[in-house]
């Protein structure tokens, strides 16, 4: 049974810090859902840690790991608490390789829908948008510029497993990302409350039925003038009531689903 002082546990706990994640290109995914999704992405999981109770309860996960040649290590409750970030960890944590791909590689696979996050710092927001992008059928999610680390624990949890479903790109700055997407044949739509195009209008005209990258800025700062002018269209979600705007998660859901629906019909 591993304890907090076991060298492998001591090394893994350091992955709560971004610097150590960046240096080692590793991260931790906690809880049965994230572990199951990680195990479903070949070559991702390095080692599975669990308490005896959790490894009994989620025996299917331990078996999947063993079948894939991944070591499964029993840890005591204290070691598990050290590895997990949540207050009520569910007893199981996977040590994973970071698996992001380059922007060129992601665009080279010809995705029909891409979501880019420009300098989004909030890990919960970023993870939620990634999950929504996956649900809408996006092939890639780009973290552009000085963005949150996609392997931040809170971001990983907010993706609810979608981190392991899409191509994750830690991109260059937002303007470069826009230009690369355009060079790859994607129409770039910038989501902004001040857009000259209305989402419903684009949907009605059929303009959404094309390979698209949406780019979203933070709620506090929006997108920079450079990004807005580099994009093909600046698009606002319609405001039917008296709210001034949607929050990031809601705006991304409305925009990405409008594209998904148009692409499905095309």
Q: What is the closest distance, in whole angstroms, from the C-beta atom of residue 264 to its own copies in the complex?
A: 7
Q: For the CA atoms of 249, 255, 260, 263, what is the dihedral angle to 10 degrees?
A: -160
Shortest spacing between CB 88 and its own copies, in angstroms: 12
Smaller CB distance to its own copies: residue 23 or 200? 200
Closest to its own copies by CB, 32 or 137:
137
- Residue 44 Cβ, how far from its own copies at the closest point, in Å? 15
Nearest in space to 233 (alpha carbons), one of 201, 204, 261:
201
Q: SS3 for 191?
A: strand
With respect to its own copies, which residue has the nearer C-beta, 101 or 254? 254
| CB closer to its own copies, 8 vs 112 | 112
Burial grade of 20 (CB within 10 A; 0-12, 13-18, 19 or more): middle
Shortest Å, Cβ 132 to its own copies: 5
199, 204, 209, 212: CA torsion to nearest 10: -10
**Minimum distance of its own copies from residue 61's CB (angstroms):** 17
Provide the binding-site residues for its own copies, judged by CB under 8 A.
128, 131-138, 158, 160-162, 165-166, 200, 203, 237-247, 249-254, 257, 260-261, 264
Q: Which two tokens stand for residue 123?
A: 């890990």
**149: number of Cβ within 10 Å:** 18
Which CB atom, from 12 or from 132, has the smaller least distance to its own copies? 132
């Amino acid at each position: 049974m591993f304890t907090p002082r076991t060298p492998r546990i001591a090394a893994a706990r350091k992955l709560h810090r971004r610097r150590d994640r960046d240096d080692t290109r590793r991260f931790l995914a906690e809880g049965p859902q994230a572990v199951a999704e990680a195990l479903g992405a070949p070559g991702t999981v390095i080692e599975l840690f669990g308490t005896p109770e959790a490894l009994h309860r989620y025996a299917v996960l331990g078996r999947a790991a063993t079948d894939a040649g991944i070591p499964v290590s029993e840890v005591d409750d204290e070691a598990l608490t050290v590895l997990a970030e949540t207050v009520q960890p569910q007893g199981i944590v996977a040590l994973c390789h970071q698996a992001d791909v380059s922007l060129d590689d992601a665009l080279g696979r010809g995705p029909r829908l891409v979501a880019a996050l420009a300098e989004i710092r909030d890990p919960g927001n970023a993870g939620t948008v990634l999950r929504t992008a996956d649900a809408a059928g996006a092939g890639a999610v780009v973290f552009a510029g000085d963005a949150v680390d996609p392997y931040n624990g809170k971001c990983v949890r907010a993706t609810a497993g979608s981190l392991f479903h899409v191509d994750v790109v830690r991109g260059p700055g937002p303007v470069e990302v826009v230009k690369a997407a355009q060079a790859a044949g994607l129409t770039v739509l910038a989501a902004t409350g001040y857009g000259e195009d209305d989402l419903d209008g684009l949907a009605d005209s059929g303009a959404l039925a094309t390979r698209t990258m949406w780019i979203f800025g933070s709620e506090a700062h929006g997108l920079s003038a450079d990004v807005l002018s580099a994009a093909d269209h600046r698009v606002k979600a319609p405001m039917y009531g008296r709210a001034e705007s949607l929050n990031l998660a809601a705006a991304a859901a409305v925009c990405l689903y409008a594209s998904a629906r148009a692409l499905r019909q095309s």
